[in-house]
């Protein structure tokens, strides 16, 4: 029986071949590299297509590849409850733009995850209604999980000796 | 506020004791009110467990029946700072949590004591990064530090006994309250920015 992860990628390529840049299914992890500007189209297809049915966004995170262009990679993990399958979508975001469309209209679970990525990496999610910091405080400057954030840097909210 | 003349007060108390014995009293215990208060305070601490992280497991161990904080009169956790005497800060404090800790401390009534429980509260512990407060003594005054990651229950009991010894010898400040951290002259240590 053919792996559904590969099937999903095939369906994705068939429907949105212009948005998908690259795919692989190494070790059973179906992964597609897509054009960041098409993320909403891809997510809508994954959710609504009767052959795909990825009705759950389980994880949304980001990687800072500081020496590469484009620099940031936003990583989405979708899960199909109906079919018990997963697919991973990656989208590259350039440092000077640093923006990608929000999935909050399709997946409400994107709310806090997008806020966390904004908080830690500074990637803006266009269309998010309330893009505030999630874990850090509002006065914090910068985005600490960026590779160029100095790890010794101190930003005291309270206390004289931090 | 007028400072009482301690010698005059002592002389008056001695006179009263002599009168009591002359009138047929056969036994007498003398003490200072301060000592009596301190003795009762040190053996009846209500603690506020400010538990944020894994040290909490060790706190449960030391509070449970095997090590038993109750033997030291320190077994009644109050979950309102207004009713508690000993603030046990148990676990990592992040910058975002700092103002909450300060608020809890400020809400406690005098006399109050603070125990820094575990390496994170003493110094930031293993976490030297953007998020973690490098020792809660940068936010509130600390009376006793119990290091360890996490500290053994014996270490916590040792710390508690040391604190009790301190409480026994405490002098109540003339203005009736201890110093807030804002009034203390703390040395400012600049950390290098990479």
Q: What is the ipTM of this complex?
A: 0.73
pLDDT at residue B194 above 60?
Answer: no
Contact B148, B155 (CB under 8 A): yes
Q: Where is average pLDDT lowest: A4-13, A115-124, B134-143?
A: A4-13
Task: Name the CA dihedral angle for B114, B120, B124, B128, rounded to a multiple of 10 degrees.
Answer: -170
Provide the pLDDT for residue A1: 40
- Map residue B77 onto helix, strand or coil: strand
* A60 DSSP β-pair partners: A76
Between chains, do B135 and A161 touch, taking CB under 8 Å as contact? yes
Q: Can you tell me which residue has the tokens 């009705």?
A: A55
Residue A159 has its nearest CB partner, among B130, B139, B194, at: B139
Provide the pLDDT for residue B11: 86
* B134/A contact by beta carbon, under 8 A: yes
- A104 — pLDDT class (breaks 50, 70, 90): very high
Smallest CA-to-CA distance from A129 within A146, A144, A110 is with A110
| The pair of three-digit structure tokens given for residue B167, joined into one six-digit string | 């409480």
Between chains, do A153 and B130 touch, taking CB under 8 Å as contact? yes
Q: Where is average pLDDT lowest: B96-105, B106-115, B163-172?
A: B163-172
Question: Stretch B79-94: mean pLDDT, rounded?
Answer: 91
Question: Stretch A33-59: mean pLDDT, rounded?
Answer: 91
Provide the pLDDT for residue A50: 87
CA distance A142 to A9: 36
* B133/A contact by beta carbon, under 8 A: yes
Provide the pLDDT for residue B178: 57
Residue B133 has its nearest CB partner, among A144, A150, A159, at: A159
Query: Which helix (DSSP H) or strand (DSSP E) does residue B120 occupy?
Result: helix B119-123
pLDDT, tens only, B41-54: 889 999 999 999 99
| CATH code for the structural domain at A4-126 | 3.30.460.80
Contacts of A73-80 with CB under 8 Å at 24 or more apart are A74/A36, A74/A39, A74/A100, A74/A117, A74/A123, A76/A39, A76/A43, A76/A103, A78/A43, A78/A46, A78/A54, A79/A54, A80/A52, A80/A53, A80/A54, A80/A55, A80/A56
Closest CA of chain A from B96, distance in Å: 6
- A142 — pLDDT class (breaks 50, 70, 90): confident
pLDDT, tens only, B142-193: 999 999 999 999 999 999 999 998 888 877 665 555 555 556 555 555 555 5
Provide the pLDDT for residue B176: 55
pTM (global) more than 0.80: no
Contact B93, B187 (CB under 8 A): no
Residue A161 has its nearest CB partner, among B129, B186, B193, at: B186
CB count, 10 Å around CB of B62? 24
Please name the residue of chain B whose CA is at the shortest distance from the CA of residue A162: B134
| The pair of three-digit structure tokens given for residue A84, joined into one six-digit string | 């018990």
pLDDT higher at A120 or A1: A120
- Map residue B151 onto helix, strand or coil: coil
Question: Stretch B72-92: mean pLDDT, rounded?
Answer: 89
Question: Stretch B82-94: mean pLDDT, rounded?
Answer: 92
Provide the pLDDT for residue B193: 53
Question: Stretch A67-71: mean pLDDT, rounded?
Answer: 90
CB count, 10 Å around CB of B189? 10
């Amino acid at each position: 029986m053919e792996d559904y992860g590969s099937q999903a990628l095939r369906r994705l390529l068939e429907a949105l071949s212009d948005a998908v840049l690259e795919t692989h299914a190494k070790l059973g992890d179906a992964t597609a590299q897509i054009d960041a500007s098409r993320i909403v189209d891809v997510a809508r297809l994954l959710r609504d297509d009767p052959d795909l049915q990825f009705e759950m966004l389980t994880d949304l995170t980001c990687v800072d590849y500081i020496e590469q262009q484009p620099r940031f990679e936003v990583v989405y993990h979708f899960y199909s409850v109906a079919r018990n399958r997963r697919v991973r979508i990656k989208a590259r975001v350039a440092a000077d733009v640093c923006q990608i469309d929000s999935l909050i209209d399709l997946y409400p679970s994107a709310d806090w995850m997008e806020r966390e990525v904004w908080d830690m990496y500074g990637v803006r999610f266009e269309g998010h209604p309330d893009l505030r910091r999630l874990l850090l405080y509002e006065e914090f400057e910068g985005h600490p999980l960026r590779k160029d954030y100095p790890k010794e840097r101190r930003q005291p909210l309270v206390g004289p000796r931090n | 506020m007028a400072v009482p003349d301690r010698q005059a007060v002592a002389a008056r108390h001695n006179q009263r004791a002599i009168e009591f014995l002359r009138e047929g009293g056969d036994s007498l215990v003398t003490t200072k009110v301060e000592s009596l208060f301190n003795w009762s305070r040190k053996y009846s601490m209500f603690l506020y467990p400010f538990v944020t992280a894994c040290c909490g497991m060790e706190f449960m161990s030391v509070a449970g029946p095997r090590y038993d904080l109750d033997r030291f009169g320190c077994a009644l956790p109050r979950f309102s700072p207004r009713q508690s005497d000993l603030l046990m800060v148990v676990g990592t404090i992040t910058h975002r949590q700092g103002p909450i800790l300060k608020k809890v401390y400020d809400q406690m009534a005098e006399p109050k004591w603070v125990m820094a429980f575990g390496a994170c509260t003493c110094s930031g512990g293993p976490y030297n990064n953007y998020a973690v407060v490098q020792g809660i003594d940068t936010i509130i005054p600390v009376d006793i530090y119990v290091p360890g990651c996490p500290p053994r229950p014996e270490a916590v009991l040792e710390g508690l006994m040391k604190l009790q010894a301190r409480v026994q010898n405490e002098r109540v400040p003339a203005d009736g309250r201890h110093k807030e951290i804002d009034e203390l002259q703390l040395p400012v240590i600049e950390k290098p920015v990479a």
